[in-house]
Amino acid sequence: MAIVDFKFALEQVPAVLKGVPWTITIAIVAMLFGLILGLLIALCRIYKVPVLNQLSILYISFIRGTPLIVQLYVFFYGVPVLVDYLNPRLGLHIDADEIPPLMYALVAYTINTAAYQAEIFRSSINATNAGQMEAAYSVGMTTRQGLTRIVLPQALLIALPNLGNVFIGLIKATSLAFAVKVVEVLAISKIIANDGYRFIEMYLVASIIYWVLCLVCEFILFKLEKRMSRSETRMGLNASV
């Protein structure tokens, strides 16, 4: 028997692939809700909305200052305690054990990624020239119209490479979702590995699956950036010459 049993590894690929839908679901759902939440937080910070601004600073500091795995644990063990505390006080009858693990993962990853996305949006909105908003005002737009029609489309273009990084980071971070009992790619690999003591084989399979997923994302992001930056062709950085 070889030191690394490639045949065994290959045979296990279909089983591990069953974890991919979980990985993708968590990454995409967290990304989408993170975009919305992140943008709202960024706007609260830029326009210095009272109370919300201070809360945002605290939230971003906490999320960025603690490891994701710790956040998952706190969330996973904290929510049942919170539910037990709230049930009698609000007259609810929620059974914390009935909440599916995926739900924990989706909420926890969204909360985590929104903090990073908020900072990306804040910097990219600030990076768009102040003159753009002034021009929007000067043609009679409201702040909301200036944001949605002029500033945010430009900010999104600036933010895109960083948002891509966040998404790729999210895909890899889903490997921690076993902490909240979601059986995704790495979890399946670990379970199979434990059965036959085939650790290196299974971790190789998992790493290749993550890598392929990230390659696909990189390709999509590359295409997206090219498509969206058509108004910047003379800026040099994106020119294909």
Partner 1 sequence: MITLKNIKKSFNKNPVLHGIDVTVNKGDVLVIVGPSGSGKTTLLRCINYLEKPDEGSISIDNFTIDEKSASKKNILTLRRKTAMVFQHYNLFKNKTVLENIMEGLLVAKKINVAEARLISMDLLRKVGLEEKANDYPTQLSGGQQQRVGIARALALKPSVLLFDEPTSALDPEMVGEVLSIIKNIANEGITMIIVTHEIDFARDVATKVIFMADGVIVEQGAPKDVLVHPKHERTKLFLKRLTPEPEYEI
Site string for partner 1, 99-138 (x = CB under 8 A): ------------------------------x-xx-xxxxx
Torsion angle of the four alpha carbons 88, 90, 95, 101, in this order, in degrees rounded to the nearest 10 = -130
Spatial contact of 121 and 40, defined as CB atoms under 8 Å apart: no
Cβ neighbors of 150 (< 8 A, separation 6 or more) are 132, 133, 135, 136, 141
Q: How far is the CB of 22 from partner 1 (least distance, A)?
A: 37
Q: How far is the CB of 27 from partner 1 (least distance, A)?
A: 28
Q: How far is the CB of 128 from partner 1 (least distance, A)?
A: 8
The tokens for 158 are 């600036």
Specify the residue for token string 């968590």.
26
Nearer to partner 1, 9 or 136 (CB): 136
Spatial contact of 16 and 27, defined as CB atoms under 8 Å apart: no
Determine whether 97 is exposed, middle or buried from the number of CB atoms within 10 Å of its CB (0-12, 13-18, 19+): exposed
Nearer to partner 1, 65 or 140 (CB): 140
Determine whether 205 is exposed, middle or buried from the number of CB atoms within 10 Å of its CB (0-12, 13-18, 19+): buried
Nearer to partner 1, 61 or 129 (CB): 129
Residue 180 interacting with partner 1 (CB under 8 A): no
Nearer to partner 1, 181 or 226 (CB): 226
The whole-angstrom separation of Cα 106 and Cα 63 is 16
Spatial contact of 153 and 5, defined as CB atoms under 8 Å apart: no
- Which H or E run contains 21? helix 20-46
**How many chain residues bind partner 1 (CB under 8 A)?**
24
Q: How far is the CB of 133 from partner 1 (least distance, A)?
A: 9
Residue 139 interacting with partner 1 (CB under 8 A): yes
Binder of partner 1 out of 142, 161, 218, 220 (CB under 8 A): 142
Residue 48 interacting with partner 1 (CB under 8 A): no
Residue 232 interacting with partner 1 (CB under 8 A): yes
Nearer to partner 1, 25 or 238 (CB): 238
Q: Return residues touching partner 1 (CB under 8 A).
A: 129, 131-132, 134-142, 145, 149-150, 153-154, 157, 230-235
